[in-house]
């Protein structure tokens, strides 16, 4: 038995989680206890819906959930013409969505692609129906889709505020609303929203986006209280800068008073205490979403989890 435990420890150190999972599984049969050395567990048998899945963080969450064995429902509007244009930024297009779908399907063939707008009740209700008819139910919904228009506070107009709040706040509430009956039917589940470090502090020049991300945390906490008795956990992830088309867009870089991604990295690096990384990768956020969706996250609800390479240490209590 000691040899087996040493093997597990060695695997944890050398092969990471996958190696530990294999060793933990063989030990679990013998002890029933050391299976807990697999921190992320598995999502085998679970069905997960991810909005804004055509690229960036949403695509990465779909990939990691698929790798952990979940059946995947990828939803994205994938049509830049449905939101007001922003100079230097566009939301995903159809080709990006098709490429993401193929990538996730290559990991797990149990993957469904749905073109839908998170602002539409009919689109979200229809997505739930499709998920149930294809996979038999829903266990996890990640409200990730987001949109941004950069403007100074005094310059924000009705179009800026309403269009951003519509996608980032109503879109999240609508996703949670539509998913709740399906989760209740399964006897519980997980709802996850994607806020931002912009939802934890004021961010000059970030326009209505900052308010929208604060609102995401508020509605997440409200839902956590109301849905807890149904065995549904509800949590927000608040990412720092993540290397995605949104963060690397010309408009985002210009809003920081900069002109290139290299300048963006140089400006942010000193503000991110962990290691020597100028930005997070989408998979950093996806790993957190796996944690919250898996067994290890079962008793966590109503939190906003900063995933920001320590940047949050500057402003959180």
Ligand X SMILES: NC(=O)c1ccc[n+]([C@@H]2O[C@H](COP(=O)([O-])OP(=O)(O)OC[C@H]3O[C@@H](n4cnc5c(N)ncnc54)[C@H](O)[C@@H]3O)[C@@H](O)[C@H]2O)c1
Return the bridge partners of 152, or none: none
- As a whole number of angstroms, the distance between CA 57 and CA 285 comes to 7
State yes or no: residue 205 binds ligand X (CB under 6 A): no
- Residue 41 vs 199, nearer CB to ligand X: 199
Stretch 254-293: interaction string toward ligand X, x if CB under 6 A: ----------------------------------------
CB of 10 to ligand X, least distance (A): 37
Q: Give, in order, the Cα–Cα distances in Å from 303 to each of 105, 176, 190, 209, 286.
A: 31, 16, 13, 20, 17
- How many residues bind ligand X (CB under 6 A)? The answer is 30
- As a whole number of angstroms, the distance between CA 223 and CA 148 comes to 24
- Residue 84 vs 187, nearer CB to ligand X: 84
State yes or no: residue 239 binds ligand X (CB under 6 A): yes
CB of 34 to ligand X, least distance (A): 36
CB of 214 to ligand X, least distance (A): 12
Residue 247 near residue 308, CB atoms below 8 Å? no
Residue 311 near residue 242, CB atoms below 8 Å? no
Residue 73 near residue 112, CB atoms below 8 Å? yes
CB of 27 to ligand X, least distance (A): 38
Stretch 116-135: interaction string toward ligand X, x if CB under 6 A: -xxx----------------
- As a whole number of angstroms, the distance between CA 191 and CA 189 comes to 7
- As a whole number of angstroms, the distance between CA 269 and CA 260 comes to 14
Catalytic residue selected from 65, 147, 209, 311: 209
Segment contacting ligand X (CB under 6 A): 22-30, 113-121, 157-165, 218-226? 113-121
Residue 154, SS3 per DSSP = helix
What the block records as the tokens of 41 is 């567990």
- As a whole number of angstroms, the distance between CA 79 and CA 248 comes to 19
Residue 131 near residue 67, CB atoms below 8 Å? no
Residues in 50-69 that interact with ligand X by CB under 6 A: 51-52, 54-58
147 is catalytic: no
- Residue 177 vs 184, nearer CB to ligand X: 177
Output the 3-class SS for 161-175. Answer: HHHHHHHHHHHHHHH
> Rg (Cα) of the chain, in Å, rounded?
20
Question: Which of residues 65, 101, 135, 147 is near ligand X by CB under 6 A?
Answer: 147
- Residue 119 vs 190, nearer CB to ligand X: 119
Stretch 163-202: interaction string toward ligand X, x if CB under 6 A: ----x---x----------------------x-x------
List contacts with ligand X (CB under 6 A).
51-52, 54-58, 76-78, 91-92, 117-119, 144-147, 167, 171, 194, 196, 239, 241-242, 244-247
Just list the catalytic residues. 209
């Amino acid at each position: 038995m000691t040899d087996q435990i040493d093997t597990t420890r060695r695997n944890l150190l050398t092969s990471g989680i996958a190696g530990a999972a294999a060793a933990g599984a063989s030990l679990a049969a013998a002890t029933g206890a050391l299976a807990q050395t697999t921190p992320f567990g598995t999502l085998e048998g679970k069905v997960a819906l991810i909005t804004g899945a055509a690229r960036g963080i949403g695509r990465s969450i779909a990939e990691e959930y698929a790798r952990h064995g979940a059946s995947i429902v990828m939803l994205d509007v994938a049509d830049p013409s449905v939101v007001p244009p922003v100079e230097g930024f566009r939301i995903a297009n159809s080709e990006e969505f098709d490429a993401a779908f193929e990538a996730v399907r290559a990991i797990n063939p149990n993957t469904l692609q749905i073109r839908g707008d998170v602002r539409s009740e009919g689109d979200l209700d229809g997505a739930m129906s499709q998920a149930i008819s294809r996979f038999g139910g829903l266990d996890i919904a990640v409200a990730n889709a987001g949109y941004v228009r950069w403007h100074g506070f005094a310059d924000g107009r009705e179009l800026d505020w309403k269009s951003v709040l519509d996608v980032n706040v109503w879109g999240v509430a609508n996703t949670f609303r539509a998913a709740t009956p399906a989760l209740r039917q399964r006897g519980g589940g997980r709802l996850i929203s994607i806020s931002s470090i912009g939802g934890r502090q004021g961010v000059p020049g970030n326009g209505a986006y900052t308010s929208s991300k604060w609102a995401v945390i508020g509605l997440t906490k409200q839902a956590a209280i109301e849905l807890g008795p149904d065995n549904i956990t509800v949590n927000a992830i608040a990412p720092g800068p993540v290397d995605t088309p949104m963060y690397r867009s010309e408009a985002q870089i210009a809003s920081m008073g900069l002109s290139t991604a290299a300048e963006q990295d140089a400006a942010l690096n000193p503000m991110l205490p962990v290691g020597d990384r100028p930005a997070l990768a989408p998979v950093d956020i996806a790993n957190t979403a796996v944690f919250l969706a898996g067994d290890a996250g079962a008793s966590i609800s109503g939190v906003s989890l900063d995933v920001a390479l320590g940047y949050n240490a500057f402003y959180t209590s």
